[in-house]
Amino acid sequence: MLSITGIRKTFNPGTVNEVRALQGVDLEVEESSFVVVLGMNGSGKSTLLNAVAGTFLVDSGSLHLAGHDITKWPEHKRAALIGRVFQNPFSGTAPNMSIAENFAMAARRGRSRGLGWALNQNLITSLRDRVATLRMGLEDRLDNAIGSLSGGQRQALTLLMASWLKPSLLLLDEHTAALDPKSADQVIALSDEVIQQDNLTTLMVTHSMQQAVNLGDRIIMMHRGRVLHDFRGAEKQRLRPEDLLDCFEEIRRREQLDESAAGMLDALYV
């Protein structure tokens, strides 16, 4: 379904700000699998999602999705295959446009947009039914500007928009990190429901061990721009949050060892 082969990305190459964000990532994601991506800050997990979404082109390696080589595709072309929910609740919706208009745009994701009316009765009827399932009372406010809604409501709507046309791949980039705990739980429950219902192939970045353990059928843990661990199948089902914390602790210790070893070599030879 999605195959990532040896992708590398360095930001600001050759300057003091050089960041080697991805250093050869290989990943095969089967159809309908739900992969949770974990990692510490700066491990490259969001960069990985952005590389798949096409926010930038990778320096080397290749990306294939649903039978297409998308390595050189610009972001807006990849959007035909990919639905996205961002970390920032403000990113996924147009604030000064109505809920209905936002969905009208989502209903044309990756398709040609002609001179037909954006809002037609069919869309509004099915939209009202779908939004009613959120039980947020938004079905009566379809003409309201999305900017007047709360972050949790906006993320829930963005999630519905991203999955309105069943995407080949759904990317969730820490999409509950900016929400209060209650809204975050709601959005996570909704995500799980949407993904199960349509059997969506999903990559989800999160910082929450609990989410990682509860959701999905596979966990990959990234470190320094590489995939460090890959838990799947029965192993993934057995994982507890403590096991994941142990993994992070191990990474931290190895990191310290590296540093003190480097310091020792430094002191001895320089």
Partner 1 sequence: MTLLLGAFTIGLILALLALGVFVSFRIFDMPDITTDGSITLGAAIAAVMLVNGINPLVATAAGALGGAIAGTITGILHTKFKINSLLAGILVMTALYSVNLHVMGRSNVPLLQAETLASESAAVGAAVIGADNFHVLGWRVGAADAAVLLFSLSFAALIGWGLFWFFRTNVGTAMRATGDNPQMIRALGANVELNLIFGLALANGLVALSGALLAQYQGFADAQMGIGMVVWGLASVIIGEALVGSRGLGLTIIGAIMGSVLFRLLVAVALRWGLNPNDLKLVTALFVFAALVLPRVLGNLRKTKASTA
In 118-222, alpha helices (H): 121-132, 151-162, 181-198, 209-214
Q: Tokens for 113? A: 């947009």
Residue 251 binds partner 1 (CB under 8 A): no
H or E, element range at 219: strand 218-223
Which range, of 14-22, 36-44, 114-122, 224-232, touches partner 1 by CB under 8 A? 114-122
Q: CB neighbours (10 Å) of residue 204? A: 26
Residue 166 binds partner 1 (CB under 8 A): no
Residue 245 binds partner 1 (CB under 8 A): no
| Alpha carbon distance 159, 171 (integer Å) | 10
Query: Which one among 161, 203, 227, 251 touches partner 1, defined by CB under 8 A?
Result: 161
Residue 178 binds partner 1 (CB under 8 A): no
Distances (CA, A) of 101 to 31, 137, 196, 242: 31, 18, 27, 44
Q: Tokens for 5? A: 């082969």
Query: Which one among 93, 153, 155, 202 touches partner 1, defined by CB under 8 A?
Result: 93
Query: Which one among 15, 117, 234, 267 touches partner 1, defined by CB under 8 A?
Result: 117
Residue 159 binds partner 1 (CB under 8 A): no
Query: Which one among 105, 124, 136, 177 touches partner 1, defined by CB under 8 A?
Result: 105
Would you say 70 or 82 has its CB closer to partner 1?
82
Query: Which one among 63, 106, 159, 160 touches partner 1, defined by CB under 8 A?
Result: 106
| Alpha carbon distance 167, 110 (integer Å) | 10
Complete edge-to-edge strand list for the sheet that includes strand 68-69:
19-29, 2-11, 60-65, 68-69
Query: Which one among 114, 121, 233, 234 touches partner 1, defined by CB under 8 A?
Result: 114
Report the 3 state secondary structure along 59-101.
CEEEEEECCEECCCCCHHHHCCCEEEECCCCCCCCCCCCEHHH
Query: Which one among 72, 111, 252, 253 touches partner 1, defined by CB under 8 A?
Result: 111
Residue 167 binds partner 1 (CB under 8 A): no
Phi-psi region of 54 (alpha: psi -120 to 50; beta: other; left: phi over 0): left
Residue 142 binds partner 1 (CB under 8 A): no
Would you say 113 or 135 has its CB closer to partner 1?
113
* CB crowding 26-38: b at 16 or more within 10 Å, else e: ebebeeebbbbbb
Would you say 125 or 256 has its CB closer to partner 1?
125
Residues of span 31-70 touching partner 1 by CB under 8 A: 53
Nearest distance in Å: CB 203, partner 1: 15
Would you say 100 or 227 has its CB closer to partner 1?
100
Phi-psi region of 161 (alpha: psi -120 to 50; beta: other; left: phi over 0): alpha
The residues that touch partner 1, with contacts defined as CB under 8 A, are: 53, 74-77, 79-80, 82, 84, 86, 90-97, 101-102, 104-106, 108-111, 113-119, 161
